[in-house]
């Protein structure tokens, strides 16, 4: 269960890292446009950056929600195991054998 949880978190973290890198590259491109680009190109690049940042924020919220869900599942799983370990043991006589040594 721990490995599954970590794999999901790692996958989401990698996505976020890639998205941040893409945003940084787009910002660099926008800065380069200040010298040689038109105002329209700069506005288009800014709109593209805003769209990427919005998507990044959404994914971050999803990551936090997913982490919370996974923690709740893990806690429920562990509680289930604890309750099974603390369960009562019942004994019931099914058969009785008697024998005599001669």
What values do phi and psi take at 73, rounded to 5? Answer: -60, -45
Residue 39 φ/ψ, nearest 5 degrees: -60, -40
Q: What residues contact residue 89 under an 8 Å CB cut-off, 6+ apart?
A: none
Stretches where the chain sits below pLDDT 70 are 1, 88
pLDDT of residue 1: 66
Alpha-carbon 72 to chain mean position = 12
Task: Look at residue 98 in the predicted model and tell me its pLDDT.
Answer: 83
Query: If you search the block for the tokens 């800065």, which residue do you land on?
Result: 31
Across the chain, mean pLDDT equals 86
| Domain boundaries of the chain, sorted by first residue | 2-85
* Token duo for residue 62: 């999803």
């Amino acid at each position: 269960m721990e490995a599954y949880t970590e794999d999901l978190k790692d996958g989401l973290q990698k996505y976020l890292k890639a998205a941040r890198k893409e945003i940084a590259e787009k910002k660099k491109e926008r800065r380069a446009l200040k010298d040689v680009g038109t105002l329209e190109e700069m506005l288009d690049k800014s709109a593209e950056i805003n769209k990427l940042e919005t998507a990044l924020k959404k994914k971050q919220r999803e990551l936090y929600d997913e982490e919370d869900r996974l923690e709740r599942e893990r806690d429920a799983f562990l509680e289930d195991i604890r309750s099974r370990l603390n369960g009562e043991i019942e004994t019931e006589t099914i058969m009785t054998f008697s024998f005599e040594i001669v």
